[in-house]
Chain A
């Protein structure tokens, strides 16, 4: 009897789930490896079972899609076609002669490692939030917009009573609506972009009436909760001593400069802030996959340029759950066919490919409009910390560039320690690049998370 080909899917969010289901249904033995205790990723993050949520869908959109994925996963796990490894934090994927070794740290302690061997790997590792620094951004009470949403979805908690939601991008509206629905007073939604700039992309928008309707629904919800929306505004400072007490909100001119005299102090005990998203690409980088800018480069079948390695979802470019689902489906079908030494039937994924093309076009337009104005750099005071872990202020980065001649992020890191701390530059990388005036570049971290030395010294155990 020939053994079924083995696929390791890393990440149980929308892309990983739909790919796992598509591949498993076509005879592939799938191991779905995820860091969370429950499937869903960040988008479908679930309240812990012990919290007894009887209407968890109230915190979510596209709940029926989630129910289909969840039930599909349960059925395939029950049938033995998918093995779901939860609380497995993948730190490295290694290429062996004709297969792959996926190394994962176990449980909350993350001190023991196991290995999963597979013939193919799908990287569906998602993304995380980009936050650019501003005075006061390290105060307790200042959290990422996605973080506030994640804590609400899984722990049913709020960061405070009075929240300001600020930054730029399509995540801010659902975050503000979610926090308000859960009982927070959302004092303001502060968006630095100008929605009028979408006019330049009228053709693309017209092709996505569903997205426009979604935006209109959020706008109506914000009005219902009496959330004041300020566009072309920014939070330019957060105030407080031991924790956040207020923020300063200011209007921006067409160049992104603060309009003189427009500053207003808004009392609040929490600020949920985000300036877009960044893809997790560490595992792809270690495998030697080509990157396109900050995204993992893939072909029409979601294949990376490393044979046997596919990528889908936010890791190939930020574009939301619907795009992740389309990419995951294409990846799953491609993997099943290729592991059977066939090319996938183009007809089998034509509708997903059409959705993918449309959504990529839509999010390119969103990216063009929801870009933090370049002037954010001017608002970062010399004493504002840029690297939160190593406590490196903007002055040190400016000195490295202006006086010591650093011309890239890596040299700035070596001269200042910005990016050498616990988070390995994930939080400060974009800011350092902006302050240094150079393009963000892949970090080329050898491991995707901290690994105890003892783990590196031991032979890995097979995951059971």
Chain B
């Protein structure tokens, strides 16, 4: 029996994937996915450390309310990974504290 996956469940035929970089690592993304979805697909669950105790954080609310999933996209810090759609060639970086301004 073929394993169940979200893509099989909806009989998806995605458009060709593209790549982004996440902390210098290349990730494959399906068109239309948010950065958070792309990171989950790659098995990455955290991409931020908190300002005071440096605890790891990733997606919590998934709908743009909680701000736990902040990261830096193309030099802009504090972007909510669950809202921003990945674009080909995006340079994505983990965020430490209040974010690195590049």
Contacts and interface: CB of A to CB of B under 8 A. Distances in A.
B56 A243 contact: yes
20 contacts: A47-B32, A48-B31, A48-B85, A51-B33, A59-B9, A59-B10, A108-B83, A140-B46, A140-B57, A143-B59, A143-B60, A151-B37, A155-B32, A156-B30, A157-B37, A159-B59, A183-B4, A242-B56, A388-B66, A389-B67
Given A138-B57, A183-B9, A50 B66 contact: no
A156 B11 CA distance: 11
Given A55-B10, A56-B10, A156-B6, 9 more contacts: A58-B11, A140-B46, A147-B62, A151-B59, A156-B37, A157-B37, A158-B6, A182-B9, A388-B66
A386 to B, nearest CB: 13
Contact of A144 (B9, B58, B61): B61
B36 A155 contact: yes
Given A51-B31, A53-B11, A151-B82, A427 B5 contact: no
Interface string B61-102: 111111110100000100100111100000000000000000
Given A155-B40, A157-B40, A142 B65 contact: no
Contacts of B45: 140-141, 159-160, 243, 270
A138 B51 CA distance: 14
A128 interface: yes
Nearest to A426: B65
A50 B30 contact: yes
A381 interface: no
B14 A146 contact: no
Contact of B46 (A144, A154, A243): A243
A222 to B, nearest CB: 15
Contacts of A53: 10-12
B61 A50 contact: no
Say whether chain B's binding surface is mostly helix, strand, loop, or mixed.
loop
Give the 5 A-B residue pairs with the shortest CB-CB distance, closest first: A48-B32, A147-B62, A155-B37, A50-B31, A50-B32
Interface of B: 3-15, 30-34, 36-38, 40-41, 45-46, 50-53, 55-68, 70, 76, 79, 82-85
Given A58-B10, A140-B45, A427 B37 contact: no
A49 B32 contact: yes
Nearest to A389: B67
Contact of A51 (B14, B53, B55, B82): B14
Contacts of B70: 422
Interface in A275-315: none
Contact of A182 (B6, B60, B64): B6
A148 interface: yes
A183 B4 CA distance: 4
A459 interface: no
B45 to A, nearest CB: 4
Contacts of B63: 42, 128, 146-147, 150
A422 B98 CA distance: 11
A422 B82 CA distance: 15
A138 B82 CA distance: 17
Given A54-B13, A55-B10, A58-B9, A181 B4 contact: yes
Nearest to A273: B60
A238 interface: no
Contact of B66 (A140, A157, A426): A426
Contacts of A128: 61, 63, 65
Interface in A131-147: 138-144, 146-147
